[in-house]
Amino acid sequence: MSGQGPQRRLLGSLNGTSPATPHFELAANQTGPRCLEVSIPDGLFLSLGLVSVVENVLVVAAIAKNRNLHSPMYYFIGCLAVSDLLVSVGNVLETAVMLLVAAGTLAAQAAVVQQLDDIIDVLICGSMVSSLCFLGAIAVDRYLSIFYALRYHSIVTLQRAWRAISAIWVASVLSSTLFIAYYNHTAVLLCLVSFFVAMLVLMAVLYVHMLARACQHARGIARLHKRQHFIPQGFGLKGAATLIILLGIFFLCWGPFFLHLSLMVLCPQHPICGCVFQNFNLFLTLIICNSIIDPFIYAFRSQELRKTLQEVVL
């Protein structure tokens, strides 16, 4: 993906440009504002990527090993882990190649580096799109399991789940290929930003509705036990905190990246927007952090999966 506007990171390294080493740097422009640039050390970036890779590999291995986890819900969680895994692999691979080219260890022609960069960018972009799609699919699956509990197994069948999974992967590959091919077109960037906003709204509406239903159910239980105040309030606060954490992490980790894309459309030449563009590597790091956090939110909370994970590790 591009570091500043449409420029390629690998081609930038081939031309001799290297990332800044301090963690925080005030970049001053003679005609523009002073910008706070957060520079991510390559070692930290690679370490986070490797942690995400190991973590998501374990999730996929646990789901594949335990037949009790072979259900649509866990298949969606497993596909989310695969998507997060590919996000981390793509970024780690791109950074590693960039460092090798900059150090002169890897000698390659500009055309070869360009092709390699395009392939890695398709991998990263496609895995990002699929990751967002599977986050939405998990929200829809949980919504159906609550509001259509009696009909859930007839609605969400394995066959339909595999169709949805296949459609998501095909759409992700096609959309990422188009994005890399036409990355400098405004319509493509607007489509990506609109897609992120749609996923955010979908998840917010579904999870808020689920929280409201859960609170209503808790009030009914409290009335049966003649404790109308204590249980609903405590349950509501806990549910609201969980909802805020879930949506907050999603927005904080993905929002800056799509803000970057939005500003590329709205103000590509403005000095203040240029300050945002300088922190592109930070936005990619946040997405990798989301890949590390996702298993704790969606996978490791399952006791069955944790037990299987212990068997896999030990």
Q: Is the pLDDT of residue 165 over 80?
A: yes
Q: Is the pLDDT of residue 8 over 70?
A: no
**Model confidence at 230: pLDDT above 80:** no
Task: Supply the pLDDT for residue 99.
Answer: 78
**Predicted local confidence at residue 109, as pLDDT:** 65
Q: Phi, psi at residue 35, to the nearest 5°?
A: -115, 140
Highest mean predicted confidence (pLDDT) among 169-173, 231-235, 241-245: 169-173
Note the pLDDT of residue 27: 45
Q: What angle do CA 218, 220, 221 make, to 5 degrees?
A: 65
Counting every residue written for the chain, the total comes to: 314
pLDDT at 6 over 50: no
* pLDDT tens for each residue of 77-124: 999 999 999 988 888 888 887 777 777 766 666 667 777 777 888 888
* Joined tokens for residue 41: 């050390």
Q: What is the pLDDT of residues 62-74, one digit of tens each?
A: 999 888 889 899 9
The hierarchical CATH code for the domain 41-223+234-313 is: 1.20.1070.10
What is the chain's mean pLDDT, rounded? 79
Least confident of 95-109, 200-214, 253-267: 95-109
- Region 235-258: mean pLDDT is 77
How would you write the chain as a 3-class SS string? CECCCCCEHHHHHHCCCCCCCCCEEEECCCCCCCEEEECCCHHHHHHHHHHHHHHHHHHHHHHHHCHHHCCHHHHHHHHHHHHHHHHHHHHHHHHHHHHHHHHCCCCCCHHHHHHHHHHHHHHHHHHHHHHHHHHHHHHHHHHHHHHCCCCHHHHCCHHHHHHHHHHHHHHHHHHHHHHHHCCCCHHHHHHHHHHHHHHHHHHHHHHHHHHHHHHHHHHHHHHHCCCCCHHHHHHHHHHHHHHHHHHHHHHHHHHHHHHHHHHHHHCCCCHHHHHHHCCHHHHHHHHHHHHHHHHHHHHCCCHHHHHHHHHHHC
State residue 227's pLDDT score. Answer: 52
